[in-house]
């Protein structure tokens, strides 16, 4: 084994790889939002039809979370991430070939199906490679990659669309995803001891710091999982969290552009700010989770971090409604996203805590519920606007969901592993 890996541990290189993947995930997702106007114009789509285009991805993404997590647990992150990244990258590229509403719906749904395996696959890799005491920050780093990717994507994708058109932009981003999948399959190993660059010292740190996995792993009982109170609590709170964030991935750019009469560059600049604050929220919450955990307060490290996050999200969303200037609105929306993203590290860390060797399935199931929240967000925004004649009811609904999540976290017990086998 290579002793040089002690200088920059191989597990950190693995985390850097998943960080890059998180950036690619959000780059591919947000492209359709930035391309909304040219796509809608070329395909003659209304705002409600675009709402379905934006939400159908979340439906495919949500429905295949649990199967993807199960496959990651069964076959490992190496094969599963290689396959799912390749699949969604192909459908990202195919988005540029559609010529009607129905074809766009089908391609975006299948894009969501492919991308469903991303974060459950990453969770499985983290479970095998990262000690428990480091997982909070690692989850924060991974999710911050998505936020940084989205922030970069807004101006870059706007520039790319102006340069080569929206169709070719989808093709280019699809190619980047396939390249990542090939490199991952070549470099990553499901078991750290099979990676030639891992030193004996690092392997000892990993093996002593991760939870023991049953040698003869029994198959998961989905009846027991869906009968678990803890599983449902995790699902509900993640639904609430995603409802807030997915608005920024779908409707924030066109919302700011229209409400405050901004040009494309200005809208891209303002819409990117919440994603930067989301990255900061992920880093801070990841640090806070690990800091409290090291004080021998396992449950509090997850609970307190999530509760602070949901409180900030509630305050930010409500305050943004009363801002008449774009700067004030974006500041409070950024606060809301900072808070919402603070809930991610404790959520995914808890899934690993309670799911153990079935962590991919448990995290995938939680993410399924969260992305049902995303599905309803993309539809609720245009439909509530049409019904009420104002965006205000939508924002108050989002605030109410964040408020509901606070008492839910008081009932979650991260220290208590789920009994998921017969």
Query: What are the residues whose beta carbons fall under 8 Å from the beta carbon of 54, sequence distance 6 or more?
Result: 32, 33, 250, 251, 378
Does residue 321 belong to any structural domain of this protein? yes
Chain centroid to CA 408? 21
Q: What is residue 21's predicted lDDT score, i.e. its pLDDT?
A: 93
- Residue 142 and residue 15 in contact, taking contact as beta carbons nearer than 8 Å: yes
Per-residue pLDDT of 96-118, as tens digits, reads 999 999 999 999 999 999 888 88
Share of the chain above pLDDT 90, in %: 38
- The percent of residues in the chain predicted with pLDDT above 70, rounded, is 96
Average confidence (pLDDT) over 195-217: 77
Averaged pLDDT for residues 8-32: 88
- Predicted local distance difference test score (pLDDT) of residue 248: 83
Question: What's the rounded Cα separation, in Å, for the pair 190 and 88?
Answer: 22
- Reported as a single tens digit per residue, the pLDDT across 352-398 is 888 877 877 888 889 888 888 888 888 888 889 888 888 889 999 99
Average pLDDT over residues 159-183: 92
pLDDT of residue 215: 56
Q: How far is CA 117 from CA 26, 107, 248, 268, in A?
A: 14, 17, 22, 29
Q: Dump the DSSP string for 10-29.
A: HHHHHHHHHHHHHHHHHHHH
Q: Is residue 419 part of a domain?
A: no
CB atoms within 10 A of CB 321: 16
- Is residue 420 domain-resident? no
Two structure tokens written together for 346: 């404790």
pLDDT in tens, 64-93: 878 888 888 889 999 999 999 999 999 999
Banded model confidence at residue 4, pLDDT cuts 50, 70, 90? very low
- Of 145, 146, 18, 15, the C-alpha closest to 80 is 18
Give, as one character, the DSSP assignment of residue 219.
P
Tallying the residues shown for the chain, one arrives at 422
CB atoms within 10 A of CB 48: 12
Phi, psi at residue 419, to the nearest 5°?
-95, 100
In a domain, 126, yes or no: yes
Which residue's structure tokens are 């409604």?
321
DSSP letters, 162-193, are: HHHHHHHHHHHHHHHHHHHHHHHHHH--SSGG
**pLDDT by residue (tens digit) across 272-300?**
899 899 989 988 998 999 899 888 898 89
CB-CB contact of 367 with 238 (8 Å) = yes
Report the range of poorest mean pLDDT among 11-15, 39-43, 85-89, 201-205: 201-205
Q: What is the tally of structural domains in the chain?
A: 1
Inside any domain, residue 214: no
**pLDDT tens track for 305-332:** 999 999 999 999 999 999 889 999 999 9
Q: How far apart are CA 37 and CA 162, in angstroms?
A: 12
CA–CA distances in Å: residue 219 to residues 83, 235, 386? 23, 21, 47
Q: Is residue 152 part of a domain?
A: yes
pLDDT at 1 over 60: no
SS3 (DSSP) at 92: helix
The per-residue pLDDT for 7 is 59
Task: Report whether 306 contacts 343 (CB < 8 A).
Answer: yes
Asked whether residue 1 is domain-assigned, the answer is no
Write down the mean pLDDT value for the chain: 87
Helix H, strand E, coil C: the string for 127-156 is HHHCCHHHHHHHHHHHHHHHHHHHHHHHHH
Task: Taking residues 258-264, report their average pLDDT.
Answer: 83
Is 3 among the domain residues? no
Contact between 181 and 85 under an 8 Å Cβ cutoff? The reply is yes
- For the chain, the maximum distance between any two Cα atoms, rounded to a whole number of angstroms, is 65
Instruction: Round to whole Å and give the CA distance between 377 and 244.
Output: 8
320: three-class secondary structure by DSSP: helix
- Rounded to two decimals, the pTM is 0.75
CATH at 132: 1.20.1250.20
User: Of the candidates 206, 199, 196, which has an alpha carbon nearest to the alpha carbon of residue 138?
Assistant: 206
Domain that holds residue 80: 8-192+200-207+223-411
Neighbours of 225 (CB within 10 A): 21
Q: Is 275 helix (H, G, I), strand (E, B) or coil?
A: helix
Half-sphere exposure of 238 (CA within 13 A, CB side): 27
């Amino acid at each position: 084994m290579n002793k040089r890996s002690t200088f920059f541990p191989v597990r950190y290189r693995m985390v850097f790889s998943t960080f890059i993947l998180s950036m690619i995930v959000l780059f591919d997702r947000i492209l359709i939002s930035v391309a909304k106007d040219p796509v809608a114009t070329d395909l003659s789509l209304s705002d409600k039809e675009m709402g379905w285009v934006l939400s159908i991805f979340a439906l495919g993404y949500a429905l295949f979370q649990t199967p993807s997590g199960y496959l990651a647990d069964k076959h490992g992150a190496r094969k599963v991430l290689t396959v799912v990244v390749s699949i969604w990258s192909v459908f990202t590229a195919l988005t540029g070939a559609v010529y009607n509403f129905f074809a766009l719906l089908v391609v975006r749904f299948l894009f969501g199906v492919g991308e469903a395996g991303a974060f459950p696959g990453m969770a499985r890799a983290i479970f095998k490679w990262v000690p428990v005491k480091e997982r909070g920050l690692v989850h924060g780093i991974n999710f911050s990659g998505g936020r940084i990717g989205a922030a970069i994507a807004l101006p870059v994708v706007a520039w790319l669309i102006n340069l080569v058109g929206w169709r070719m932009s989808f093709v280019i981003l699809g190619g980047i995803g396939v390249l990542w999948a090939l490199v991952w399959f070549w470099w990553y190993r499901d078991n750290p001891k099979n990676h030639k660059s891992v030193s004996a010292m690092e392997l000892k740190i990993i093996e002593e710091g991760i939870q023991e996995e049953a040698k003869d792993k029994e198959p998961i009982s989905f009846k027991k999982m869906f009968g678990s109170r803890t599983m449902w609590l995790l699902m509900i709170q993640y639904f609430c969290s995603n409802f807030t964030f997915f608005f920024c991935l779908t409707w924030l750019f066109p919302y700011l552009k229209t409400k405050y009469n901004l040009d494309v560059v200005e809208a891209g600049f303002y819409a990117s700010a919440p994603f930067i604050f989301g990255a900061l929220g992920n880093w801070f919450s990841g640090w806070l989770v690990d800091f409290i955990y090291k004080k021998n307060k396992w449950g509090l490290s997850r609970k307190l971090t999530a509760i602070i996050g949901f409180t900030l999200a509630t305050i930010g969303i409500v305050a943004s409604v009363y801002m008449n200037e774009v700067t004030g609105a974006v500041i409070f929306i950024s606060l809301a996203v900072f808070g919402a993203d603070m809930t991610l590290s404790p959520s995914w860390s808890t899934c690993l805590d309670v799911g153990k060797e079935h962590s991919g399935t448990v995290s995938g199931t939680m993410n399924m519920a969260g992305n049902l929240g995303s599905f309803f967000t993309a539809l609720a925004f245009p439909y509530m606007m049409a019904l009420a004649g104002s965006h205000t009811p939508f924002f108050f609904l989002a605030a109410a969901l964040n408020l509901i999540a606070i008492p839910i976290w008081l009932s979650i017990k991260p220290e208590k592993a789920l009994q998921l086998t017969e």
